[in-house]
Structure 1
Amino acid sequence: MKWFRFLAAAGVFLPSLAIAQPDWREMDWGDFIVRLGGSYIHPDDGSTSLKFRVLQHWDLYNTTWEIDSSRTWQLSAVWRPMPYWGIELMHIGGADYDADLDYFTGIPGREVIALGDFKASSSLAFVNWYILDGTCLGRPYIGVGINYTDFHDVSLSGAFNQFLIDSGLATGRGDFNLGHSWDWAAQAGVDFSFDWGFPLLVNASVQHFHSDTDARVTFPTELGYDRLYARFDYDPWVFNLSVGYRF
Protein backbone atom coordinates (compact mmCIF):
# COMPACT_ATOMS: atom_id res chain seq x y z
CA MET A 1 0.00 0.00 0.00
CA LYS A 2 2.90 2.36 0.79
CA TRP A 3 4.44 1.71 -2.65
CA PHE A 4 1.11 2.49 -4.29
CA ARG A 5 0.88 5.85 -2.48
CA PHE A 6 4.47 6.69 -3.43
CA LEU A 7 3.90 5.91 -7.13
CA ALA A 8 0.67 7.89 -7.11
CA ALA A 9 2.44 10.93 -5.63
CA ALA A 10 5.28 10.61 -8.13
CA GLY A 11 2.76 10.45 -10.94
CA VAL A 12 1.33 13.76 -9.79
CA PHE A 13 4.56 15.70 -9.20
CA LEU A 14 7.03 14.39 -11.81
CA PRO A 15 5.15 15.69 -14.87
CA SER A 16 5.01 19.17 -13.36
CA LEU A 17 8.75 19.05 -12.58
CA ALA A 18 9.52 17.93 -16.11
CA ILE A 19 7.49 20.82 -17.49
CA ALA A 20 9.25 23.29 -15.16
CA GLN A 21 12.74 22.06 -16.16
CA PRO A 22 14.23 24.67 -18.56
CA ASP A 23 15.59 23.64 -21.94
CA TRP A 24 19.42 23.74 -21.87
CA ARG A 25 19.35 25.50 -25.26
CA GLU A 26 17.40 28.39 -23.74
CA MET A 27 19.57 28.80 -20.64
CA ASP A 28 21.80 31.86 -20.22
CA TRP A 29 25.34 30.47 -20.33
CA GLY A 30 26.98 33.88 -19.98
CA ASP A 31 29.68 35.36 -22.24
CA PHE A 32 32.32 33.51 -24.23
CA ILE A 33 35.35 35.49 -25.39
CA VAL A 34 38.23 34.48 -27.65
CA ARG A 35 41.33 36.71 -27.89
CA LEU A 36 44.49 36.77 -29.97
CA GLY A 37 47.42 39.11 -29.41
CA GLY A 38 51.04 39.66 -28.52
CA SER A 39 53.09 39.36 -25.33
CA TYR A 40 56.20 41.15 -24.10
CA ILE A 41 57.99 38.93 -21.55
CA HIS A 42 60.62 40.07 -19.07
CA PRO A 43 62.11 37.07 -17.20
CA ASP A 44 63.94 37.08 -13.88
CA ASP A 45 67.75 36.98 -13.73
CA GLY A 46 67.96 35.51 -10.22
CA SER A 47 69.19 32.01 -11.08
CA THR A 48 71.99 30.41 -9.09
CA SER A 49 75.47 29.80 -10.52
CA LEU A 50 76.32 26.46 -12.10
CA LYS A 51 78.13 23.97 -9.86
CA PHE A 52 78.71 20.27 -9.43
CA ARG A 53 76.38 18.28 -7.17
CA VAL A 54 78.59 19.01 -4.14
CA LEU A 55 81.59 21.11 -5.18
CA GLN A 56 81.66 24.54 -6.78
CA HIS A 57 83.68 25.18 -9.95
CA TRP A 58 85.86 28.25 -9.35
CA ASP A 59 85.45 29.80 -12.83
CA LEU A 60 81.65 29.62 -12.42
CA TYR A 61 81.48 30.50 -8.73
CA ASN A 62 80.31 34.13 -9.03
CA THR A 63 78.52 33.90 -12.37
CA THR A 64 75.02 35.35 -12.81
CA TRP A 65 72.50 34.60 -15.54
CA GLU A 66 71.73 37.32 -18.08
CA ILE A 67 68.57 36.78 -20.14
CA ASP A 68 67.06 39.38 -22.47
CA SER A 69 63.34 40.07 -22.77
CA SER A 70 61.33 38.45 -25.55
CA ARG A 71 58.20 38.96 -27.65
CA THR A 72 55.76 36.31 -28.79
CA TRP A 73 52.07 35.58 -29.48
CA GLN A 74 49.32 34.55 -27.08
CA LEU A 75 45.84 33.05 -27.37
CA SER A 76 43.16 33.08 -24.66
CA ALA A 77 39.56 32.01 -24.08
CA VAL A 78 37.26 33.34 -21.37
CA TRP A 79 33.93 32.05 -20.06
CA ARG A 80 31.92 34.41 -17.84
CA PRO A 81 29.03 32.32 -16.45
CA MET A 82 28.23 35.06 -13.90
CA PRO A 83 28.31 38.87 -14.29
CA TYR A 84 31.37 39.38 -12.06
CA TRP A 85 33.23 36.07 -12.37
CA GLY A 86 35.02 34.34 -15.20
CA ILE A 87 37.34 31.46 -16.04
CA GLU A 88 40.24 32.12 -18.43
CA LEU A 89 42.60 29.79 -20.24
CA MET A 90 45.68 31.23 -21.98
CA HIS A 91 48.59 29.89 -23.97
CA ILE A 92 51.74 31.94 -24.55
CA GLY A 93 53.69 30.65 -27.55
CA GLY A 94 57.36 29.74 -27.56
CA ALA A 95 59.42 32.81 -26.65
CA ASP A 96 63.10 32.73 -27.72
CA TYR A 97 65.87 33.46 -25.20
CA ASP A 98 69.66 33.59 -25.13
CA ALA A 99 71.26 32.88 -21.76
CA ASP A 100 74.67 34.37 -20.90
CA LEU A 101 76.81 33.97 -17.78
CA ASP A 102 78.23 37.24 -16.45
CA TYR A 103 81.27 37.52 -14.10
CA PHE A 104 82.82 34.50 -15.78
CA THR A 105 86.56 33.99 -15.11
CA GLY A 106 87.35 30.90 -17.20
CA ILE A 107 88.81 32.82 -20.18
CA PRO A 108 91.36 35.62 -19.53
CA GLY A 109 90.11 39.05 -20.59
CA ARG A 110 86.52 37.87 -20.90
CA GLU A 111 83.78 38.29 -18.29
CA VAL A 112 80.74 37.03 -20.22
CA ILE A 113 80.22 33.68 -21.93
CA ALA A 114 77.16 32.44 -23.82
CA LEU A 115 75.61 29.49 -22.00
CA GLY A 116 72.96 28.53 -24.56
CA ASP A 117 69.52 29.30 -25.91
CA PHE A 118 66.01 27.97 -25.31
CA LYS A 119 62.30 28.56 -25.85
CA ALA A 120 59.62 28.86 -23.16
CA SER A 121 55.91 28.13 -23.70
CA SER A 122 53.39 28.73 -20.91
CA SER A 123 49.79 27.56 -20.42
CA LEU A 124 47.80 29.36 -17.72
CA ALA A 125 44.39 29.00 -16.06
CA PHE A 126 42.80 31.86 -14.06
CA VAL A 127 39.70 32.60 -12.03
CA ASN A 128 38.93 36.29 -12.68
CA TRP A 129 36.88 38.78 -10.67
CA TYR A 130 35.44 41.70 -12.66
CA ILE A 131 35.22 44.90 -10.64
CA LEU A 132 32.57 46.70 -12.76
CA ASP A 133 29.39 45.44 -14.43
CA GLY A 134 28.79 44.71 -18.09
CA THR A 135 27.37 48.15 -18.92
CA CYS A 136 30.78 49.83 -18.54
CA LEU A 137 33.01 50.58 -21.52
CA GLY A 138 36.03 49.23 -19.65
CA ARG A 139 35.84 46.25 -17.30
CA PRO A 140 38.94 45.88 -15.09
CA TYR A 141 39.58 42.52 -13.46
CA ILE A 142 42.06 40.63 -11.32
CA GLY A 143 42.74 36.91 -11.41
CA VAL A 144 44.65 34.12 -9.69
CA GLY A 145 45.51 30.68 -11.02
CA ILE A 146 48.21 28.26 -12.06
CA ASN A 147 50.74 27.97 -14.88
CA TYR A 148 52.58 25.19 -16.65
CA THR A 149 55.80 26.28 -18.38
CA ASP A 150 57.74 24.04 -20.74
CA PHE A 151 61.34 24.87 -21.66
CA HIS A 152 62.14 23.33 -25.01
CA ASP A 153 64.51 23.60 -28.00
CA VAL A 154 67.32 23.94 -25.45
CA SER A 155 70.88 23.92 -26.78
CA LEU A 156 74.32 24.49 -25.28
CA SER A 157 76.44 27.21 -26.88
CA GLY A 158 79.61 26.30 -28.75
CA ALA A 159 81.60 28.74 -26.60
CA PHE A 160 80.57 27.11 -23.31
CA ASN A 161 81.10 23.62 -24.69
CA GLN A 162 84.60 24.59 -25.82
CA PHE A 163 85.32 25.98 -22.35
CA LEU A 164 84.39 22.60 -20.82
CA ILE A 165 86.75 20.82 -23.23
CA ASP A 166 89.63 23.30 -22.85
CA SER A 167 89.41 23.18 -19.04
CA GLY A 168 89.67 19.40 -19.09
CA LEU A 169 86.16 18.78 -17.78
CA ALA A 170 84.60 17.35 -20.95
CA THR A 171 85.80 15.11 -23.74
CA GLY A 172 83.04 15.97 -26.22
CA ARG A 173 79.79 17.76 -26.89
CA GLY A 174 77.57 18.45 -23.87
CA ASP A 175 73.80 18.94 -23.46
CA PHE A 176 71.80 21.74 -21.83
CA ASN A 177 68.42 20.89 -20.23
CA LEU A 178 65.82 22.95 -18.36
CA GLY A 179 62.73 20.71 -18.10
CA HIS A 180 59.37 22.20 -17.05
CA SER A 181 57.52 23.63 -14.04
CA TRP A 182 54.08 23.98 -12.39
CA ASP A 183 53.31 26.92 -10.09
CA TRP A 184 50.99 29.85 -9.24
CA ALA A 185 50.07 32.82 -11.44
CA ALA A 186 48.33 36.18 -10.99
CA GLN A 187 47.11 38.87 -13.35
CA ALA A 188 45.33 42.20 -13.67
CA GLY A 189 43.74 43.51 -16.84
CA VAL A 190 40.91 45.39 -18.50
CA ASP A 191 38.50 44.58 -21.34
CA PHE A 192 37.30 47.46 -23.52
CA SER A 193 34.06 46.85 -25.44
CA PHE A 194 33.27 48.80 -28.60
CA ASP A 195 29.92 48.98 -30.37
CA TRP A 196 31.01 48.80 -34.01
CA GLY A 197 28.14 46.63 -35.17
CA PHE A 198 29.78 43.48 -33.80
CA PRO A 199 31.03 42.54 -30.30
CA LEU A 200 34.72 43.44 -30.60
CA LEU A 201 36.91 43.77 -27.51
CA VAL A 202 40.40 45.11 -26.86
CA ASN A 203 42.27 43.70 -23.87
CA ALA A 204 45.36 44.83 -21.98
CA SER A 205 46.76 42.80 -19.08
CA VAL A 206 49.85 42.23 -17.00
CA GLN A 207 50.74 38.85 -15.49
CA HIS A 208 53.34 37.51 -13.14
CA PHE A 209 53.90 33.86 -12.47
CA HIS A 210 56.34 31.71 -10.54
CA SER A 211 58.36 29.26 -12.62
CA ASP A 212 61.48 27.53 -11.27
CA THR A 213 63.27 24.48 -12.60
CA ASP A 214 66.61 22.69 -12.36
CA ALA A 215 69.08 23.59 -15.10
CA ARG A 216 71.58 20.86 -16.01
CA VAL A 217 74.62 20.80 -18.26
CA THR A 218 75.58 17.17 -18.96
CA PHE A 219 78.88 16.37 -20.67
CA PRO A 220 81.02 13.28 -21.42
CA THR A 221 84.18 12.57 -19.43
CA GLU A 222 86.86 9.90 -19.53
CA LEU A 223 84.98 7.96 -16.85
CA GLY A 224 81.47 8.41 -18.26
CA TYR A 225 79.39 11.55 -17.69
CA ASP A 226 79.31 14.46 -15.29
CA ARG A 227 76.87 17.35 -14.69
CA LEU A 228 76.73 20.97 -13.66
CA TYR A 229 73.56 22.12 -11.85
CA ALA A 230 71.80 25.43 -11.22
CA ARG A 231 68.41 26.59 -9.95
CA PHE A 232 66.82 28.45 -12.87
CA ASP A 233 64.32 31.17 -11.90
CA TYR A 234 62.20 32.18 -14.89
CA ASP A 235 59.51 34.08 -12.90
CA PRO A 236 58.52 36.47 -15.72
CA TRP A 237 56.44 39.62 -15.95
CA VAL A 238 54.22 39.38 -19.02
CA PHE A 239 52.54 42.36 -20.72
CA ASN A 240 49.72 41.43 -23.12
CA LEU A 241 47.77 43.37 -25.73
CA SER A 242 45.08 41.54 -27.71
CA VAL A 243 41.81 41.84 -29.60
CA GLY A 244 38.85 39.55 -29.01
CA TYR A 245 35.36 38.58 -30.04
CA ARG A 246 32.47 38.01 -27.64
CA PHE A 247 29.91 35.30 -28.39
Structure 2
Amino acid sequence: MTVSRYALALLAGLAMAGAALPSTVLAEDFQPKEKGTLMLNVRLTDVDPKAGNDILTAANVDTGLNAEVSSSVMPTIGLTYFMTDNLALEVIAGTTKHKISASGLPVADTWVLPPVVALQYHFNPKGRVSPYVGAGVNYMLFYGTEDKTGFKSTKVDNGFGYALQAGADVAIKGPWSLNVDVKKIYFETDATTTLKPATKLHSKVDLDPWVLSVGFGYRF
Protein backbone atom coordinates (compact mmCIF):
# COMPACT_ATOMS: atom_id res chain seq x y z
CA MET A 1 0.00 0.00 0.00
CA THR A 2 1.42 3.38 -0.96
CA VAL A 3 1.66 6.18 1.58
CA SER A 4 -1.09 8.19 -0.11
CA ARG A 5 -3.44 5.19 -0.01
CA TYR A 6 -2.45 4.59 3.61
CA ALA A 7 -3.35 8.19 4.47
CA LEU A 8 -6.70 7.88 2.73
CA ALA A 9 -7.33 4.59 4.53
CA LEU A 10 -6.73 6.29 7.89
CA LEU A 11 -9.16 9.09 7.09
CA ALA A 12 -11.76 6.65 5.81
CA GLY A 13 -11.27 4.45 8.87
CA LEU A 14 -11.97 7.33 11.22
CA ALA A 15 -15.10 8.29 9.31
CA MET A 16 -16.35 4.70 9.50
CA ALA A 17 -15.49 4.57 13.22
CA GLY A 18 -17.63 7.65 13.79
CA ALA A 19 -20.48 6.20 11.78
CA ALA A 20 -20.20 2.88 13.62
CA LEU A 21 -20.50 4.37 17.11
CA PRO A 22 -23.55 2.93 18.91
CA SER A 23 -26.64 5.13 18.91
CA THR A 24 -26.49 5.26 22.71
CA VAL A 25 -23.05 6.86 22.45
CA LEU A 26 -24.14 9.21 19.69
CA ALA A 27 -27.02 10.35 21.87
CA GLU A 28 -24.63 11.42 24.61
CA ASP A 29 -23.58 15.05 24.87
CA PHE A 30 -20.12 15.91 23.65
CA GLN A 31 -17.93 18.93 24.24
CA PRO A 32 -17.59 21.03 21.05
CA LYS A 33 -14.47 22.85 19.99
CA GLU A 34 -14.64 26.57 20.73
CA LYS A 35 -12.51 29.59 21.55
CA GLY A 36 -10.41 28.87 24.64
CA THR A 37 -10.56 25.06 24.28
CA LEU A 38 -7.32 23.25 25.10
CA MET A 39 -7.09 19.81 23.49
CA LEU A 40 -4.62 17.01 24.16
CA ASN A 41 -4.16 14.30 21.51
CA VAL A 42 -2.22 11.11 22.26
CA ARG A 43 -1.46 9.28 19.02
CA LEU A 44 0.33 6.27 17.58
CA THR A 45 2.47 7.73 14.78
CA ASP A 46 4.23 6.28 11.75
CA VAL A 47 7.08 8.48 10.44
CA ASP A 48 7.93 7.36 6.90
CA PRO A 49 10.86 9.28 5.31
CA LYS A 50 11.44 9.54 1.57
CA ALA A 51 15.29 9.77 1.22
CA GLY A 52 16.91 7.86 -1.69
CA ASN A 53 19.50 10.55 -2.56
CA ASP A 54 22.92 9.81 -4.12
CA ILE A 55 25.95 9.31 -1.83
CA LEU A 56 29.05 11.20 -2.98
CA THR A 57 32.73 11.17 -2.07
CA ALA A 58 34.49 14.26 -0.67
CA ALA A 59 35.34 15.14 -4.31
CA ASN A 60 31.63 14.91 -5.24
CA VAL A 61 32.07 11.68 -7.19
CA ASP A 62 28.94 9.53 -7.24
CA THR A 63 29.56 6.24 -5.39
CA GLY A 64 26.54 4.55 -6.96
CA LEU A 65 25.00 4.16 -3.50
CA ASN A 66 21.81 5.78 -2.25
CA ALA A 67 21.01 7.07 1.23
CA GLU A 68 18.05 5.25 2.79
CA VAL A 69 16.20 5.96 6.05
CA SER A 70 13.77 3.51 7.63
CA SER A 71 10.29 4.32 8.87
CA SER A 72 9.45 4.22 12.59
CA VAL A 73 6.26 3.88 14.67
CA MET A 74 6.17 5.57 18.08
CA PRO A 75 3.68 7.37 20.37
CA THR A 76 3.40 11.17 20.03
CA ILE A 77 1.42 13.92 21.70
CA GLY A 78 -0.20 17.09 20.40
CA LEU A 79 -1.47 20.07 22.39
CA THR A 80 -3.94 22.38 20.63
CA TYR A 81 -5.22 25.77 21.78
CA PHE A 82 -8.24 27.36 20.06
CA MET A 83 -7.68 31.10 19.53
CA THR A 84 -11.15 31.34 17.92
CA ASP A 85 -13.84 28.72 17.26
CA ASN A 86 -12.13 27.84 13.96
CA LEU A 87 -8.47 28.84 14.32
CA ALA A 88 -6.15 26.82 16.54
CA LEU A 89 -2.44 26.41 17.21
CA GLU A 90 -1.06 22.90 17.75
CA VAL A 91 2.34 21.86 19.10
CA ILE A 92 3.25 18.25 18.27
CA ALA A 93 6.09 16.41 19.99
CA GLY A 94 7.56 12.92 19.91
CA THR A 95 10.75 11.09 19.08
CA THR A 96 11.45 8.24 16.66
CA LYS A 97 14.41 5.95 15.93
CA HIS A 98 15.53 5.35 12.34
CA LYS A 99 18.05 3.14 10.55
CA ILE A 100 20.31 4.89 8.03
CA SER A 101 21.70 2.70 5.28
CA ALA A 102 23.54 2.96 1.95
CA SER A 103 21.70 0.87 -0.64
CA GLY A 104 20.88 -1.69 2.05
CA LEU A 105 24.25 -1.56 3.86
CA PRO A 106 23.70 -0.49 7.51
CA VAL A 107 25.40 2.83 8.30
CA ALA A 108 23.91 4.07 11.59
CA ASP A 109 20.91 4.17 13.88
CA THR A 110 19.75 7.60 14.98
CA TRP A 111 17.01 9.21 17.04
CA VAL A 112 15.21 12.32 15.82
CA LEU A 113 13.10 14.81 17.77
CA PRO A 114 10.93 16.64 15.21
CA PRO A 115 8.60 19.09 17.02
CA VAL A 116 6.00 20.74 14.77
CA VAL A 117 4.09 23.98 15.40
CA ALA A 118 1.06 24.31 13.10
CA LEU A 119 -1.71 26.86 12.59
CA GLN A 120 -4.97 25.00 11.91
CA TYR A 121 -8.39 25.79 10.50
CA HIS A 122 -11.25 23.61 11.84
CA PHE A 123 -14.19 23.49 9.44
CA ASN A 124 -16.92 22.18 11.77
CA PRO A 125 -15.86 22.88 15.38
CA LYS A 126 -19.37 22.46 16.81
CA GLY A 127 -20.01 19.17 15.02
CA ARG A 128 -19.34 15.61 16.08
CA VAL A 129 -17.17 15.04 13.01
CA SER A 130 -14.74 17.96 12.72
CA PRO A 131 -12.11 17.98 9.93
CA TYR A 132 -9.21 20.41 9.85
CA VAL A 133 -6.20 21.49 7.78
CA GLY A 134 -3.00 23.14 8.96
CA ALA A 135 0.43 24.42 8.01
CA GLY A 136 3.49 25.16 10.11
CA VAL A 137 7.19 24.73 10.77
CA ASN A 138 9.25 21.96 12.32
CA TYR A 139 12.79 21.50 13.62
CA MET A 140 14.65 18.22 13.12
CA LEU A 141 17.03 17.44 15.99
CA PHE A 142 19.13 14.27 15.52
CA TYR A 143 20.69 12.65 18.59
CA GLY A 144 21.94 9.34 19.99
CA THR A 145 23.49 8.29 16.67
CA GLU A 146 25.06 4.80 16.83
CA ASP A 147 27.44 3.88 14.01
CA LYS A 148 27.40 0.45 12.34
CA THR A 149 29.77 -1.83 10.37
CA GLY A 150 33.08 -0.17 11.30
CA PHE A 151 32.25 3.42 10.36
CA LYS A 152 34.10 5.95 12.48
CA SER A 153 31.33 8.54 12.68
CA THR A 154 28.09 9.58 11.03
CA LYS A 155 26.66 13.07 11.41
CA VAL A 156 23.22 14.27 10.30
CA ASP A 157 22.70 18.04 10.38
CA ASN A 158 19.82 19.51 12.37
CA GLY A 159 17.60 22.15 10.79
CA PHE A 160 14.21 23.67 10.05
CA GLY A 161 11.54 22.45 7.65
CA TYR A 162 7.89 23.09 7.06
CA ALA A 163 4.77 20.95 7.33
CA LEU A 164 1.30 20.60 5.80
CA GLN A 165 -1.42 18.86 7.80
CA ALA A 166 -4.92 17.42 7.44
CA GLY A 167 -7.01 15.47 9.90
CA ALA A 168 -10.32 15.01 11.64
CA ASP A 169 -11.77 14.55 15.12
CA VAL A 170 -14.83 12.41 15.88
CA ALA A 171 -16.36 13.27 19.27
CA ILE A 172 -17.25 10.24 21.38
CA LYS A 173 -18.63 11.40 24.71
CA GLY A 174 -18.02 14.45 26.85
CA PRO A 175 -14.45 15.68 26.27
CA TRP A 176 -13.25 12.51 24.49
CA SER A 177 -12.74 12.09 20.74
CA LEU A 178 -11.06 9.91 18.12
CA ASN A 179 -8.39 11.57 16.00
CA VAL A 180 -6.64 10.83 12.73
CA ASP A 181 -3.90 13.13 11.47
CA VAL A 182 -1.77 13.16 8.32
CA LYS A 183 1.24 15.45 7.90
CA LYS A 184 3.73 15.92 5.09
CA ILE A 185 7.00 17.41 6.33
CA TYR A 186 9.47 18.93 3.89
CA PHE A 187 13.03 18.78 5.19
CA GLU A 188 16.44 18.58 3.53
CA THR A 189 19.61 17.78 5.47
CA ASP A 190 23.27 16.87 4.96
CA ALA A 191 24.58 13.51 6.15
CA THR A 192 28.32 12.87 6.42
CA THR A 193 30.02 9.57 7.18
CA THR A 194 33.72 9.41 8.05
CA LEU A 195 35.27 6.05 7.16
CA LYS A 196 38.51 4.55 8.44
CA PRO A 197 40.93 6.13 7.78
CA ALA A 198 39.64 9.70 7.32
CA THR A 199 37.67 9.09 4.13
CA LYS A 200 34.41 10.99 3.97
CA LEU A 201 31.19 10.28 2.11
CA HIS A 202 28.33 12.74 2.08
CA SER A 203 24.78 13.04 0.83
CA LYS A 204 22.17 15.79 0.69
CA VAL A 205 19.12 13.90 1.95
CA ASP A 206 15.53 14.93 1.18
CA LEU A 207 13.78 13.22 4.08
CA ASP A 208 10.31 14.71 3.35
CA PRO A 209 8.51 12.19 5.62
CA TRP A 210 4.84 11.37 5.73
CA VAL A 211 3.69 11.42 9.36
CA LEU A 212 0.55 9.32 9.85
CA SER A 213 -1.21 9.24 13.22
CA VAL A 214 -4.28 7.81 14.95
CA GLY A 215 -5.26 8.27 18.57
CA PHE A 216 -7.54 9.80 21.17
CA GLY A 217 -8.15 13.39 22.16
CA TYR A 218 -9.29 15.04 25.39
CA ARG A 219 -10.74 18.57 25.47
CA PHE A 220 -10.22 20.75 28.54
How far did 1:192 drift? 1.2
5 Å-filtered alignment, 1:9-158, equals: 30-52=36-58, 54-56=59-61, 61-93=63-95, 95-102=96-103, 112-134=104-126, 136-158=127-149
Which structure would you say has the larger RCO, counting Cα contacts within 8 Å and 6 or more residues apart?
Answer: 2
5 Å-filtered alignment, 1:202-217, equals: 202-217=178-193
How far did 1:216 drift? 0.9
Say what the alpha-carbon RMSD is for the aligned residues.
1.8
Report if the CA contact (8 A) 1:152-1:179 is conserved: no
Report the AA paired with residue 101 of structure 2.
D
Q: Which runs of 5+ in 1 are unaligned?
A: 1-27, 103-111, 162-173
1:228 aligns with 2:201: yes
In structure 2, which of residues 166, 172, 175 is the aligned counterpart of residue 188 of structure 1? 166
**Within 1, Cα distance between the matches of 2:131 and 2:164?**
14
Question: Sequence identity, in percent?
Answer: 20
Alpha carbons of structure 1 residues 36 and 55: separation in structure 2 relative to 1, 3 Å = closer
Pairs aligned (count): 187
**Within 2, Cα distance between the matches of 1:209 and 1:144?**
10
Larger Rg: 1
Report which of the two has the higher share of strand.
Answer: 2
Which stretch of the first structure deviates more once superposed, 117-126 or 64-73? Answer: 64-73
Report if the CA contact (8 A) 1:33-1:244 is conserved: yes
What does the per-residue CA deviation read over 1:19-67, in whole Å, with 9 as the maximum and x for residues that have no partner? xxxxxxxxx9521101112101111123231321x242xxx62111233
How far did 1:220 drift? 5.6
**Within 2, Cα distance between the matches of 1:226 and 1:61?**
13
TM-score by length of 2: 0.78
Alpha carbons of structure 1 residues 32 and 113: separation in structure 2 relative to 1, 3 Å = same
**Within 2, Cα distance between the matches of 1:117 and 1:133?**
41
Q: Which runs of 5+ in 2 are unaligned?
A: 1-33
